[in-house]
Amino acid sequence: MGIHVIKMPDIGEGIAEVELVAWNVKVGDTVVEDMNLADVMTDKATVEIPSPVHGKVLALGGKVGDVMAVGSELIRIEVEGAGNVKDGPAAPAPATAPAPAPKAAPAPAPAVAATPAPAPAPAAKAPAPVPQAAPARAPAAGAQRITRAPTDKPIASPAVRAHAWDLGIDLQYVMGTGTAGRITHEDVDAYAARGLVGGTGASGSVDTRYAQRTDEEQIPVIGLRRKIAQKMQDAKRRIPHFTYVEEIDVTNLEALRAKLNQKHGAERGKLTLLPFIMRAVVLAVREFPQMNARFDDEAGVVTRHAAVHLGMATQTEAGLMVPVLQHAETLDLWATAAEVARLAAGARSGKSAREELTGSTITITSLGALGGIVTTPVINSPEVAIVGVNRVVERPMIRDGLVVARKMMNLSSSFDHRVVDGIHAAEFVQVIRGYLETPATLFVE
């Protein structure tokens, strides 16, 4: 038997390290050739690491969430034959590598230590209930009233009664600790502090909507969520953003879209507003090539691109991803719509290829029907511009002195102020506006 060590492969694109986001095997498992051992994440995509050999897993080189350098040991597998670990000093490595496995065995040790731990806890809780709290436990289980004589009523001052009323507490459930059983503010507060508010008189039920909650949940920021956090932080730290907002009258555009869907929807597919906006951006960057660019701020070089590779911010269960419409300038409305649907489906299913998530030159972001009135989108670095689409709202507008209903939509676009001047950003958005408000121009070269 021999030992085969699989190292973190060079995924390309100059990537020096990746994040380990999932193990698909564990120590002791038998693996076969081409079996997916682990998932790692680069800046843009999740990549599967397959096994080149058959064998048994001896040791894992890291845990989920670890950032691992290319070339570092990913996994150690026992195989038939010599393996790829040379004899000599490296041979004992397998004996050392499984050492983490025994460490995993002591992991239950804290559980053993934790088993006696609850014993002191009840002991600590025993002295906690003060005399006034003991009766207050009854409502927690069954919301029972305090036992009093039939003619007795809770004794409390008007101020205490008002205080209890504000908290939604029925004084029938509160044991008074004052003179002659008088209920004090402290009694009411102690009762409320235990989440026993909302007694409803004769029914004795407890309204838990206002009960105090102390539960917490800690969620590790790993995988795609970590990459998003790092990228957004870097973009906001390095790029001086400014956002320009303009409203667009899309009444005529929506009428055209409805007409095209009615005539061609069955055979070509339904069009949303997004392909029209994408086409408008493609045409606008011909007049403003500085918007279709990437800025290498370390080298101090702005690269303008003739090709329009449109990034499309897409929300997935794992987080925000930006698939790219390569060469959007070559696509008509229906081809654009089909590509948008394909890329969005791939991103949401986690099946996007790495090349489909890289290389964008300008990005469009939209929250769809929830798009709000105004947004301040974060630039997809190293790009210099991002066009944000807000929702369409029908509003009364004045046209030729008359109040008419028009379908209005805002574009909220952000720019890198280091290389884009405000006047040019405004002119760029105005050109997009012109195309969308006069949609026939989208088809005129």
Question: What b/e sequence results for 222-236 when a residue is b if at least 16 CB atoms lie within 10 Å of its CB, and e otherwise?
Answer: bbbebbeeebeeebe
Counted residue by residue, the chain has a size of: 445
Annotation says 416 is catalytic = no
Active-site annotation holder among 241, 264, 417, 424: 417
Alpha carbons 21 and 23: distance in angstroms, whole number: 7
Tokens standing for residue 387: 């066009």
Query: Is residue 392 within 8 Å of residue 409, measured between CB atoms?
Result: yes
Of 301, 284, 309, 304, which Cα lies nearest the Cα of 293?
304
Phi, psi angle pair for 188, to nearest 5°: -65, -45
User: Taking the CB of residue 99, how many other CB atoms lie within 10 A of it?
Assistant: 10
Alpha carbons 239 and 218: distance in angstroms, whole number: 31
Annotation says 400 is catalytic = no
Active-site annotation holder among 189, 296, 332, 421: 421
Give yes or no for a cis peptide into 382 (omega within 30° of 0).
Answer: yes
Tell me the residue type at 39: D
User: Could you identify the residue written with the tokens 């101020």?
Assistant: 159
- Which residues are catalytic, by number? 417, 421
